[in-house]
Structure 1
Amino acid sequence: MQRVLIVGPCGAGKSTLAAQLGPALDLPLFHMDQLNWKPGWVESSKEEIREKLAAITAQERWLIDGTYGGTLAPRLERANTVLYLDYPIRLCVARLLKRIWTHRGQSRPDMTEDCPERFDLGFLFYLLRWNSGPKHRLEAALKGHEAKVIRFHDPIQLKRWLDSQSA
């Protein structure tokens, strides 16, 4: 695994897995949230993100966490492993709410400085609608890349896989 992409719904644990896996594989770690957000919750332009990603994905080794469908195609092309956290949305909602509570008023380690965690009803609704829209778009994007996708349906399955990798 030299170029790893971690995708899945919000709150699945992509950044947590990346923080664990990046050092274990000695891969440079990039968080899509940090690439997208500037201080004060200012969103980067699509062109800015594409330029950043082009420089990152041109490298021989990397780990990128985050789905961000609009920039997925070039990352998928270069990735040799895609870890898909295809978890139940009820679990992701619970994890999202825990994350909001735990980091309330402060920036998460995987987020740009001066982007304090906050409750966003629109973001919650986006997650609640994951299975009826964003998931279908992700699944369509993954077509043709199935050979490099490792899909996990629950955290226990992921833990077993991680344990088998370290053995």
Structure 2
Amino acid sequence: MRRILIVGSSGAGKSTLARAVARRLDLPLIHLDQHYWRPGWAPADDAAFRAEVAALAAGQSWVMDGNYAATLDLRLPHADLLVLVDLPWPLCLARVVRRRWDRRAAGRPDLPAGCPERLDLNFLPYIWRYPGRSRPRVFAAVAAHAPELPVVRLRSRRQVRRWRDDLPTG
């Protein structure tokens, strides 16, 4: 495994898992949020972001976290493994609220400079809609762009820990 794509709901622990996997396997880590967001939470230009994601996905090895469904067509064909962190939405919602409180004074390492942790009330519905809207889009993208790609679906914190701990060391 040289290219591992990690997706899932906000608050599921994608970035935390990605850091642990990259460290354990000694692979470069790519947080897509750092490539999409500009200071002040300004989004990147769509065409420029797609071009950047295409270049990143073509790299020889990586652990990449981030949903960005509009770029799954670029990333999935390059991936050796897709990890879907699919924790229950109430847990994800609680984690997002706790993360906002815990990070109120300090930034997150997976976000670019100028993008402090925030809790946007328009964002919260995305979390509880993830299972019904976004998860099916992930599986549809796999079927369309990388039908042979192995998928690991982690549905509990225990499964996440076991999967992570069972990885070989780089």
Uncovered stretches (5+) of structure 1, i.e. residues with no partner = none
CA contact (8 A) 1:6 1:65 kept: yes
Q: CA deviation at 1:166?
A: 4.0
**Further displaced range: 147-156 or 130-139:** 130-139
C-alpha distance in structure 2 between counterparts of 1:45 and 1:80, whole Å: 28
> When the two structures are aligned, how many residues end up with a matched partner?
167
Distance 2:167 2:83 in 1: 13
In structure 1, C-alpha distance between the alignment counterparts of 2:164 and 2:129, rounded to whole Å: 29
Q: State the one-letter code of the partner of 1:99.
A: R
1:98 is aligned with what amino acid?
Answer: R
Shift of 1:146: 5.5
CA distance in 2, matches of 1:42, 1:31: 16
Two-structure CA RMSD over aligned residues (Å): 1.5
| Deviation of 1:105 (Å) | 4.7
SS in 2 for 1:56: helix
Distance 2:136 2:148 in 1: 15
Which residue pairs with 2:48 in the alignment?
Answer: 48
The structure whose RCO (Cα within 8 Å, separation 6+) is larger is: 2
Separation in 1 of the partners of 2:132 and 2:109? 30
Counterpart-to-counterpart distance in 1, 2:147 and 2:157: 23
1:161 corresponds, among 156, 160, 163, to 163
Percent identity for Structure 1 against Structure 2 = 43
Q: Which amino acid aligns with 2:119?
A: F
TM-score, normalisation: structure 1: 0.93
The Cα of 1:82 is off from its aligned counterpart by 0.8
Aligned-residue offset at 1:141: 1.3
The amino acid of 1:68's aligned partner reads Y
Q: CA deviation at 1:147?
A: 4.1
The one-letter code matched in structure 1 to 2:155 is H
Mapping 1:73-88, distance limit 5 Å? 73-88=73-88
Distance (Å, rounded) in 2 between the aligned partners of 1:87 and 1:147? 21
Residue ranges of structure 2 left out of the alignment (5+ in a row): none
